[in-house]
């Protein structure tokens, strides 16, 4: 089971995080450090979806890796329930890695092609042997597959035998296997067809209701963000330029960058009136 949480609990706090990368010298351009993140601070509260949005190269994926503990920031800190990752004991860090799981952008490359679906779902239990006993694992695998909308009969298949949407469902099942309280989702629908994207988004919403899981949702698709998130944080060139409730950020953006980002979203045409739709259908029948 996930940890019990109060609606006002701060699960993850990112405090003045900076991440610099070394840029090699090219031609006349001198080498040196290049900031991927610059003094970023934000919080994820229990039971919410926090969307982190921005253009490619804005630092979104770097932030996701730092939150996961896969990279240490150049400056600043990340804390889980008030405990800083940098000073956690080995046992506390193992607990953190169980509580905060990741869903990757590309479901094809994030799944081992040599493992069957059942073995992929069970990967987290190897690192966390106390979560599910060996005797209970077959039944738990069937439950997790059903939870994400996959037939239990898929347990003996390999990833290449699944569609892109099915592979992403498998990645979500693997993340949920250790009962996390937070999922860090790095562009989890960007590589999928539009119709499949809608299915996965609906799955995320259902899991949030049923499992009380919280999300850090990395995305560049503002339509997805508006549909899914409670709060939004906007990154530009590694800096946090605006954050707040999603409705406020979308309907009343304060910063010029956010306004330009929203203006770049293609506008949906107004729905056809019944009369106009009927005329189009009649014209099509005549042809």
The residues, ordered by sequence, that sit 6+ positions from 11 with a Cβ below 8 Å of its Cβ are 5, 44, 45, 46, 80, 81, 181, 182, 214
Grouping H, G, I as helix, E, B as strand and the rest as coil, residue 49 is strand
Tell me the average pLDDT across 29-33. 72
pLDDT of 23 over the 80 cut: no
pLDDT at 47 over 50: yes
Measured between alpha carbons, how far is 228 from 211 in angstroms, rounded to an integer?
16
Least confident of 176-180, 242-246, 260-264: 260-264
287 has a pLDDT exceeding 60: no
What pLDDT shows up at residue 2? Answer: 47
**Given a cut of 50, is residue 164 above it in pLDDT?**
yes
Look at 223 and 276; give whichever has higher pLDDT.
Answer: 223
- Residue 61: how many other CB atoms lie within 10 Å: 16
Mean per-residue pLDDT, 61-69? 95
Q: Is the pLDDT of residue 7 over 50?
A: no
- 144-164: average pLDDT: 96
d(Cα 34, Cα 24) in Å, to the nearest integer? Answer: 10
> What pTM does this model have?
0.85
Residue 177's CB: how many other CB atoms inside 10 A? 24
Q: DSSP secondary structure string, 123-181? A: HHHHH-TTSS-TTTHHHHHHHHHHHTT--GGGGG--GGGS-HHHHHHHHHHHHHTT--S
Tell me: pLDDT of 30 over 80. Answer: no
| Domain over 10-112+181-266 is classified CATH 3.40.50.300 | yes
- Residue 52 and residue 287: Cα distance in Å, rounded? 48
Lowest mean pLDDT among 13-17, 161-165, 189-193, 234-238: 189-193
Sign of the C-alpha dihedral, residues 63, 69, 75, 81? positive
Once rounded to an integer, what is the mean pLDDT over residues 166-192? 95
Q: How far apart (Å, rounded) are the C-alpha atoms in residues 68 and 18?
A: 15
Q: Which residues of 134-160 are buried (b: 16+ CB within 10 A; e: fewer)?
A: eeebeebbbebbebbbbebebbebbbe
- Which is more confidently placed, 278 or 227? 227
């Amino acid at each position: 089971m996930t940890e019990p949480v109060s609606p006002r609990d701060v699960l993850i706090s990112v405090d003045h995080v900076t991440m610099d990368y070394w840029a090699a010298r090219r031609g006349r351009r001198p080498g040196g450090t290049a900031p991927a993140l610059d003094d970023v601070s934000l919080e994820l509260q229990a039971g919410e979806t926090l969307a982190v949005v921005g253009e490619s190269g804005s630092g979104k994926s770097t932030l996701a890796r730092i939150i996961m503990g896969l990279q240490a920031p150049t400056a600043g800190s990340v804390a889980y329930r008030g405990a800083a990752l940098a000073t956690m004991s080995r046992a506390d860090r193992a607990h953190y890695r169980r509580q905060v799981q990741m869903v990757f952008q590309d479901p094809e490359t994030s799944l081992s092609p040599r493992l069957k679906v059942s073995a992929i779902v069970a990967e987290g239990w190897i690192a966390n042997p106390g979560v599910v006993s060996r005797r209970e694992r077959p039944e738990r695998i069937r439950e997790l597959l059903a939870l994400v909308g996959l037939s239990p009969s898929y347990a003996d298949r390999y990833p290449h035998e699944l569609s892109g949407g099915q592979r992403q469902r498998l990645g979500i099942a693997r993340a949920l296997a250790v009962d996390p309280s937070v999922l860090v989702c790095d562009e989890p629908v960007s590589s999928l067809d539009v119709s499949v994207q809608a299915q996965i988004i609906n799955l995320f919403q259902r899991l949030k209701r049923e499992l009380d899981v919280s999300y850090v949702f990395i995305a560049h698709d503002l339509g997805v963000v508006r549909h899914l998130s409670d709060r939004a944080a906007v990154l530009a060139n590694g800096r946090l330029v605006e954050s707040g409730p999603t409705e406020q950020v979308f309907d009343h953006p304060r910063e010029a960058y956010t306004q330009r980002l929203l203006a770049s979203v293609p506008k949906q045409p107004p729905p056809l009136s019944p009369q106009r739709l009927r005329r189009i259908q009649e014209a099509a029948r005549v042809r």
